[in-house]
């Protein structure tokens, strides 16, 4: 089951994945259930009904597989802890677990962290098989009975371990591949190569799922494809922005609103400029940020004659001018509105997703140009 790498620059105050409920803590790591997990339970109970096994065996089978996925994730978390990396949470999705690490492990650390999960399932599977005196033929496993319960749990674990070792980033095997490439190449490049391999495997997996009528596999393939695409884009973004200060990409030609301006005036400014988010000032001091969505909300709820001071966000995203753009990039993208580049209390500029995108385009073009001149 897929197990995406932690989001880049995940921080301790990261919000939990939406749609989850916290259920328990293991070794201090919160384990959350994604609400779609209920679908899996319904599905498993449904396929359990068709077999010749008792209700008790069905329940044991489901709990054992759930426990196996959990052991897999907890093993990732424990090995990460050996390197001083905390796991902010483990989320159980219907197609597997996802552990989110705080921060990015170094390539040498990622290899054992990624290996720990699948290895735990292979060990569980082999130990369970070893407890069985006479092996049943493999074909009998497809019909669930009470007699082959242990073999099925063992087979489930072996499958879980082997499947996760597929070199399809962001699954564990893909992360192992990335960490091996990163021993010889820069990390961002390694991520991009592993992400491309992940997309290739996801397409192959999806086609296989389609041809064999395995919809669960097609679903997993889609999950892997999107994960790989996202990680690849994030790595490209990091490599294009890393080493540049925030001031290099900021907008310096911008308009501000005064706290005494009305929402109507803010709306006029929104139309007459290409700006979407406006810093709100009180004298020389910046006291908030009025985003386009907050403006619209205020227009709807409070009316055009209300003041921007009531609608603005006082806890806006502040960025020091010398902050590394690679660190700022995910913050601006997840904020969904502009960040204010501030030197102490002095406003220097705005950073928006569009501007960061344009900065990256320019970097890409200049890199391509540098390669062309190099070749000549």
Binding site for Zn ion (CB under 5 A): 3, 117, 172
Q: Which is nearer to Zn ion, 37 or 307 (CB)?
A: 37
**Residue 127, C-beta contacts closer than 8 angstroms, at least 6 positions apart:** none
* Residue 92: CB minimum distance to Zn ion, A: 12
**Measuring CA to CA, which residue among 329, 357, 338 is closest to residue 279?**
338
Torsion of CA 130, 135, 138, 142, to 10 degrees: -90
List strands edge to edge, sheet with 29-34: 20-26, 29-34, 87-93, 96-101
* Residue 78: CB minimum distance to Zn ion, A: 12
Buried b (16+ CB within 10 A) or exposed e, 4-27: bbbbbbbeeeeeeeeebeeeeeee
* Residue 60: CB minimum distance to Zn ion, A: 23
* Residue 242: CB minimum distance to Zn ion, A: 27
Q: Which is nearer to Zn ion, 175 or 238 (CB)?
A: 175
Using CA atoms, how far apart are residues 319 and 332, in angstroms rounded to an integer? 10
Q: Which is nearer to Zn ion, 3 or 151 (CB)?
A: 3
* Residue 72: CB minimum distance to Zn ion, A: 5
Q: Which is nearer to Zn ion, 230 or 327 (CB)?
A: 230
Helices assigned H by DSSP within the chain: 37-50, 55-82, 107-130, 149-164, 172-181, 187-212, 215-241, 263-272, 292-301, 308-311, 325-335, 353-375
∠ Cα 101 204 184 (to 5°) = 50
* Residue 105: CB minimum distance to Zn ion, A: 13
Q: Which is nearer to Zn ion, 33 or 113 (CB)?
A: 113
Q: Which is nearer to Zn ion, 5 or 351 (CB)?
A: 5
């Amino acid at each position: 089951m897929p197990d995406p790498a932690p989001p880049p620059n995940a921080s301790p105050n990261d919000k939990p994945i939406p749609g989850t409920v916290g259920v328990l803590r293991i070794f201090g790591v919160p384990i959350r259930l994604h609400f779609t997990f209920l679908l899996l339970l319904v599905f498993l109970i449904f396929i359990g009904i068709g077999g010749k096994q008792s209700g008790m065996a069905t329940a044991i089978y489901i709990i054992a597989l759930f426990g196996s996925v959990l052991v897999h994730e907890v093993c990732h978390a424990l090995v990460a802890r050996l390197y001083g990396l905390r796991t902010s949470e483990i989320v159980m999705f219907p197609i597997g677990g996802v552990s989110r690490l705080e921060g990015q492990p170094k390539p040498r650390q990622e290899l054992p962290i990624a290996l720990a999960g699948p290895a735990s399932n292979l060990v569980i599977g082999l130990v369970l098989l070893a407890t069985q005196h006479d092996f049943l033929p493999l074909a009998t496993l497809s019909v669930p009975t009470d007699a082959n319960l242990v073999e099925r749990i063992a087979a489930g674990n072996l499958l879980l371990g082997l499947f996760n070792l597929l070199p399809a980033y962001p699954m564990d095997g893909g992360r192992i591949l990335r960490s091996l490439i990163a021993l010889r190449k820069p990390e961002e490049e390694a991520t991009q190569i592993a992400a491309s391999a992940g997309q290739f495997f996801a397409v192959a997996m999806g086609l296989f799922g389609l041809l064999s009528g395995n919809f669960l596999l097609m679903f997993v393939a889609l999950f892997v494809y999107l994960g790989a695409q996202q990680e690849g884009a994030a790595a490209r973004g990091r490599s294009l922005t890393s080493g540049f200060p925030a001031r290099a990409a900021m907008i310096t030609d911008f308009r501000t609103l005064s706290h005494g301006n009305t929402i109507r005036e803010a709306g006029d400014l929104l139309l007459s400029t290409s700006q979407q988010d406006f810093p709100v000032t009180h004298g020389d001091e910046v006291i908030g940020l009025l985003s386009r969505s907050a403006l619209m909300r205020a227009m709807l709820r409070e009316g055009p004659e209300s003041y921007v001071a009531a609608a603005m966000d006082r806890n806006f995203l502040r960025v020091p001018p010398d902050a590394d753009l690679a660190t700022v990039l995910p913050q601006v993208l997840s904020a969904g509105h502009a960040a204010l580049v501030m030197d102490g209390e002095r406003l220097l500029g705005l950073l928006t997703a569009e501007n960061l995108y344009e900065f990256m385009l320019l970097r890409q073009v200049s890199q391509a140009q540098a390669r062309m001149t190099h070749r000549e």
